[in-house]
Amino acid sequence: MKVLGIETSCDETGVAIYDEKQGLIANQLYTQISLHADYGGVVPELASRDHIRKTAPLIQAALAEANLSAQDIDGVAYTCGPGLAGALLVGSMIARSLAYAWNVPALGVHHMEGHLLAPMLEERVPAFPFLALLVSGGHTQLIRVNGVGDYQLLGESIDDAAGEAFDKTAKLLGLDYPGGAALSRLAEKGNPDRFVFPRPMTDRPGLDFSFSGLKTFAANTVAQHPQQDEQTRCDIAYAFQAAVVDTLAIKCQRALHDTGLKRLVIAGGVSANKQLRQRLGELMTKLGGEVFYPAPQFCTDNGAMIAYAGFLRLKAGEQTGLAVEVRLRWRMSELAKIS
């Protein structure tokens, strides 16, 4: 079975093909970073229009990369939500139309399930059950994963997600959008002893997150140093990143203790952060467990994770009807369990 996957939930256009026997055989990605950089964030209308321009050429490129024709595709998967309405509609309409024209089933995929299953694209994959930390620009969640579709939400952000806080703090430091990765590079040169930021919600029970106050603390620190030299910016970046990483690690350790699980998966855009990977790797070594994460190119939004998640559900007999529907908000607990 060969599944074409299309991802258009936000500011990346991703198209990939997953083959049941060979694995991932094509992966095409176009990022809109330069398009939105002047605005300091994603402009939904511009994102939608760019998806219209890029999706069809990327589908053709993916077919060429895999040396396939349309007749070789057995199913089409696409991101149905969560995401930006217009961007989701572009991918959904194109995917559903292709599936109808090619007379193959189509399936709307949950964007975060795609991220959750992205580590399965690697050679070393986690066995069920495991704890998953999904950490991106729009989500920060801790989930017990018993199987595909068998998800128990343990905790989530009650305000800003970790990735959103990264980007907003980067903007305070004068970094271009998206600033999360640039902030991490600044942090590498920071003095760990100059600033100490709070570790929000770690002094109380529970597994929920809150990063809005941490962002405000960063804003106040920046305001107290209006004449920022390069070292001050690096020091603030270090303190902010250390606070986020510590907070995520503390909550993961708490969740692992509560569940008794020994396998941890981290996925989503922030899972590419080197300090986070190092800290969670050290944590799992200390606890005698294992940590799993996707390759860096599969941490951010991509078509490969949608093709793989879609393959699993299409193979199980799921498919979406002719009506095109997108879901801006969609809890993973609503997904069906598959064996």
Binding region for substrate: 134-138, 167, 180, 273
| Torsions phi, psi for 157 (to 5 deg) | -75, 135
Show binding-site residues for Fe cation. 111, 115, 301
Q: Say if residues 336 and 149 touch (Cβ distance below 8 Å).
A: yes
Show binding-site residues. 111, 115, 134-138, 167, 180, 273, 301
Closest CA relative to residue 13, chosen from 85, 73, 88: 88
Q: Say if residues 45 and 84 touch (Cβ distance below 8 Å).
A: no
Helix (H) or strand (E) holding 167: helix 162-172
Rg (Cα) of the chain, in Å, rounded? 20
If one counts every other C-beta atom within 10 angstroms of the C-beta of residue 69, the result is 9
DSSP conformational letter for 209: B
Distance between CA atoms of residues 303 and 110, nearest Å: 12
Strand partners, 147: 150
Closest CA relative to residue 179, chosen from 297, 37, 50, 294: 37
Chain-centre distance of CA 290, in angstroms?
20
